Structure 1
């Protein structure tokens, strides 16, 4: 089970993803905006930040950068359209940056989150 910060402005998407992740056994905190997410990330430890990427905003990318500054080991997964991509620390110890993973269909989201956390 992973502890997940789910941050997306889309109410329907937030409800759908939270329910799907909870059914998969994950603990989910969900927020609708960047500032609320950032506050929770500073107050609590999460394994994964899961957020959508929306064309009209860079808030999600700013949030991902801030999350990684707060906890460099936190995994970040972006939902884009009908798939998701994960950003993970490189395998080499001491390396900086992140690696982009393959697209994931939302039907496999809970399974992919578990795989993402195990990759630590």
Structure 2
């Protein structure tokens, strides 16, 4: 089972993403900021870091840099509603995927499946 670490500071968005990803067969550990996600990357194994870029304490780009140092095998996907920070994230982490808000959950699940070469088991609608 693919294990995802989700860092998203908006509670409603975090819950929405967790429900959708779990419904599609992913194991999700969710936190509300990068500073809570960083130690988890050091102590547990994750296949994907799914992180908002704009967050308090430690932003998603800082978190992704930390991830590349402590868990280089973990893939990174950014989610953001700000085009300017999306460009910066793409420059800083060119191998990361970037998904701009607003997005449909189907798009998120399809992007995760593409990253891992999987087919959707539940047919999210």
Query: What interval of TM-score do these two structures reach, taking the shorter chain for normalisation?
Result: 0.7 to 0.9
Counterpart contact for 1:75–1:117, Cα < 8 Å: no
What RMSD in Å do the two structures reach over aligned CA positions? 2.7
Name which of 74, 94, 99 aligns with 2:95: 99
- 1:40 deviates by 0.9
> How many residue pairs get matched?
107
- 1:59 deviates by 1.5
The answer to which of 55-64 and 25-34 deviates more is 55-64
CA distance in 1, matches of 2:2, 2:114: 10
CA distance in 2, matches of 1:58, 1:37: 9
CA distance in 1, matches of 2:69, 2:38: 11
CA distance in 1, matches of 2:7, 2:51: 5
TM-score by length of 2: 0.72
Segments of 5+ residues of structure 1 without an aligned counterpart are 88-96
Q: CA 1:111 to 1:57, structure 2 compared with 1: closer, same or farther past 3 Å?
A: same
Normalized per residue, the structure richer in helix is 2
Listed one character per residue, the Cα deviations across residues 63-109 of structure 1 (whole Å, up to 9, x for unaligned) are 00001111212110011229xx8x9xxxxxxxxx6335475743221
TM-score by length of 1: 0.74
Name the residue aligned to 2:20: 20
Segments of 5+ residues of structure 2 without an aligned counterpart are 119-125
CA distance in 1, matches of 2:61, 2:77: 11
CA distance in 1, matches of 2:113, 2:27: 12
